[in-house]
Amino acid sequence: MNQASQILAEVKKAVCGKDRVLVWVLTVILARGHILLEDIPGVGKTTMALAFSRALGLDYGRVQFTPDVLPSDITGYSIFDKETGVMRYQPGVILCNLFLADELNRATSRTQSALLEAMEEGQVTVDGVSHKIPEPFCVFATQNPTGASGTQLLPDSQMDRFTVRLSIGYPAPGDEREILLGRQKGNPLLQVRQVVTREELLTMQQEAANVYLKPELADYIVSLVGKTRTDPLIARGVSPRATLSLGAMAKAVAYVQGRDYVQPKDIQNVFVSTCAHRLLLSAEADAKGICAEELLDRILKSTSAPRI
């Protein structure tokens, strides 16, 4: 059993029946990305994040976002030290390895923007001084479905920084029964043991980044994202950041499957989940009830993959 399989086996001790989602999450972590989980409360988003932090040996930070959470609660702030006579930086909660931003779309736009620099550059700036966030670093953000009480839409710049958007969904009846009975033995999170160190995870991330992507497959990715920018039903296609995310995710998928090269199917597997949340659909698409996932499926089917 390789390290990826060992990590997933440990996380499954706390999360039942969501194997596909767990593989996706591990893939995003190996791709050095960030995850947006859109779901109703109570389906196990926090449990999953905690299970991964335990299995990967990561420092964990969490903020329950509400309208009164301030940017300084996230990034930290400077206070005057009477003993030294200078301003001293008090680190914010985001200076960790795995940060859970719970119900992010309940926070104000000003507070949401505090995450932008951290997610893109791995640092926060307070009073003109930059502070590096320790590596590895991954943001798990959850948002309640649009229209839920007290929520607002995340800005486009925020959405574009999430590598994928996933949904856990309700458990199957058999899995829910297992969850119920499993609680009689205590908290299942306590059964999750650490599989790798932070240094080993960094090595895995570098190995995933070193997976070979042929020039023909790079052309394939560029062709796919290009069609999102010319489709008449899409008002705004995906950004070059999405192109980079597609490449990183395809490499991570190949790495998890034990390959050191990318195949066309790796790109096809990640295309929809990596791009759907970044699209802005036209009024015509909205009127016809066509969703982003459907349009991306059409693009996949209409674009010939290179033979490798």
Tens digits of residue pLDDT in 212-254: 999 999 999 999 999 999 999 999 999 999 999 999 999 999 9
Q: Looking at residues 189-218, what average pLDDT do you find?
A: 95
Task: Provide, rounded to the nearest whole percent, the portion of the chain with pLDDT above 90.
Answer: 69
Whose tokens are 């069609």? That residue is 227
* Tens of pLDDT, residues 126-162: 988 899 999 999 999 988 766 555 667 788 888 999 9
Residue 87 DSSP SS3: strand
pLDDT score at 208: 97
* CB contact at 8 A, 79 and 40: no
59, 102, 243 from 17: Cα distances, Å: 26, 22, 31
**Maximum pairwise Cα distance, the chain:** 68
Report the 10 Å Cβ neighbour count for 78.
Answer: 15
Question: Is the Cα torsion angle 225, 229, 230, 231 positive or negative in sign?
Answer: positive
Q: What is the pLDDT of residue 186?
A: 82
Say if CB 58 and CB 38 are below 8 A apart. Answer: no
Res. 107 pLDDT band, cuts 50 70 90? confident
Is residue 43 very low, low, confident or very high in pLDDT (cuts 50, 70, 90)? confident
User: What is residue 1's three-state secondary structure?
Assistant: coil
- Residue that wins the pLDDT comparison between 198 and 42: 198
